[in-house]
């Protein structure tokens, strides 16, 4: 009597499962990785003025202006940042953090940290 | 009275600059002259601010004056570094001399004032001065600058002057309300 061949999973199903597994791995990796985002201080304003980041991300304020600036808000307080220098802040908690340049209070920005 | 003296002096020096730049086929100020004018204009405001830091008893006026020292000193440093890099020697000229003379005259007039009178006169002068310098930067210095980096520096100074003017105007309003 001939043995009954075992049913084999169709190739398409196997490919779909492999793809799904790969996507799950990528998503997990992305969630754990952090980014560094730059805010340019130029022409007496912050660009971008509103930033959305995740916990663990780092914001770098780059002073491209001719004069010193600062960034002071609920979650961070920089010293005066001389022309050409930077200030870094890593977000550790969620929230919305409006900030100003204390030297030139017309300059306003906001960082929103969300998962 | 002080404001009128200052405005007349300042506008006359900057008007001479503008007129010479506009006269038929005139070349306008050269890059070395523009560099000298830029440094002089910043220094005049620093000198005025130092006088205010010394004489004013008003915290808001002193904070503004300190900002003028910090910002204009930073601009001078950037401008000086640039001309050094470009191998340009700033060239003294009638406009720079007139700016300096106007600044010295204003300081002498302000020296005789004190208290709220000094604060008002200083801030009124700052509003007029920044308006005049902005006009000169827009109409003469930027258009006549030949070197791209010098022109770029002047364009970067422009928004700084705008913020200073807004600050001075706000302060002028606050002092006027008292």
Our measurement of the distance from residue A43's CA atom to the centroid of its chain's CA atoms, rounded to an integer in Å, reads 24
Instruction: Look at the pTM and tell me if it is higher than 0.80.
Output: yes
Chain B residues touching residue A68 (CB < 8 angstroms): 70-71, 74
Chain A residues touching residue B160 (CB < 8 angstroms): 44, 65-67
ipTM score of complex: 0.84
**3-state SS class at B147:** coil
Distance from CA of B138 to the nearest CA of A (A): 15
Average predicted confidence (pLDDT) for chain B: 89
- Which chain A residue's Cα is nearest to B76? A66
Per-residue pLDDT band at B177 (split at 50, 70, 90): confident
Return d(Cα B100, Cα B121) in angstroms, integer.
Answer: 18
Return d(Cα A18, Cα A107) in angstroms, integer.
Answer: 50
Contact between chains at B163 and A44 (C-beta distance less than 8 A): yes
Which one, of A91, A42, A1, lies nearest residue B152 by Cα? Answer: A42
Return d(Cα A14, Cα A25) in angstroms, integer.
Answer: 17
* pLDDT score for B178: 66
A-B CB pairs within 8 A amount to: 38
Contact between chains at B160 and A103 (C-beta distance less than 8 A): no
Distance from CA of A16 to the nearest CA of B (A): 56
Average pLDDT, integer, range B169-178:
90
Chain A residues touching residue B151 (CB < 8 angstroms): none
Contact between chains at A43 and B67 (C-beta distance less than 8 A): no
Contact between chains at B156 and A65 (C-beta distance less than 8 A): yes
Describe the strand order of the beta sheet including A72-73 as a list of residue ranges. Answer: A50-53, A108-113, A95-100, A72-73
pLDDT surpasses 70 at B47: yes
Nearest CB to B78 within list A44, A45, A66: A66
Judging by DSSP bridges, how do beta strands A36-42 and A58-63 pair with one another? parallel
Distance from CA of B48 to the nearest CA of A (A): 19
Return d(Cα B99, Cα B10) in angstroms, integer.
Answer: 6
Chain B residues touching residue A83 (CB < 8 angstroms): 74, 78
pLDDT in tens, chain A (115 residues): 666 555 666 777 777 666 655 555 444 444 558 999 999 999 999 999 999 999 999 999 999 999 999 999 988 999 999 999 999 999 999 999 999 999 999 999 999 999 9
Nearest CB to B157 within list A66, A103, A107: A66
A contact set with B (CB within 8 A):
42-45, 65-68, 82-83, 103-104, 106-107
């Amino acid at each position: 009597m001939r043995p009954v061949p075992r049913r084999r999973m169709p190739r398409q199903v196997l490919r779909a499962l492999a793809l799904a597994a790969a996507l799950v791995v990528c998503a997990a990796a992305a969630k754990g990785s952090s980014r560094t985002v730059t805010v340019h201080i130029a022409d007496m304003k912050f660009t971008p003025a509103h930033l959305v980041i995740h916990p663990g991300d780092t914001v770098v304020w780059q002073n491209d202006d001719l004069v010193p600036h600062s960034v002071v808000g609920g979650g961070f307080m920089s010293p005066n940042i001389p022309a050409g220098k930077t200030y870094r802040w890593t977000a550790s908690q969620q929230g919305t953090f409006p900030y100003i340049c204390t030297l030139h209070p017309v300059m306003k920005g906001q960082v929103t940290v969300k998962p | 009275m002080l404001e009128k003296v200052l405005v007349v002096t300042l506008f006359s020096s900057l008007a001479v600059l503008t007129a010479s730049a506009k006269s038929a086929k005139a070349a306008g100020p050269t890059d070395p002259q523009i560099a000298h004018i830029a440094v002089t204009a910043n220094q005049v405001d620093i000198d005025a601010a130092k006088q205010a830091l010394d004489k004013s008893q008003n915290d808001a006026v002193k904070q503004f004056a300190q900002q003028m020292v910090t910002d204009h000193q930073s601009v001078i440093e950037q401008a000086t570094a640039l001309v050094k890099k470009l191998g340009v020697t700033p060239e003294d000229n009638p406009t720079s001399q007139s700016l300096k003379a106007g600044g010295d005259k204003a300081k002498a007039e302000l020296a005789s004032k004190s208290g709220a009178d000094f604060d008002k006169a200083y801030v009124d002068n700052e509003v007029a001065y920044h308006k005049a310098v902005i006009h000169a930067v827009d109409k003469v210095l930027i258009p006549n600058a030949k070197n791209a980096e010098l022109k770029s520096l002047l364009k970067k100074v422009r928004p700084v002057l705008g913020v200073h003017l807004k600050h001075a105007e706000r302060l002028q309003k606050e002092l006027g309300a008292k």
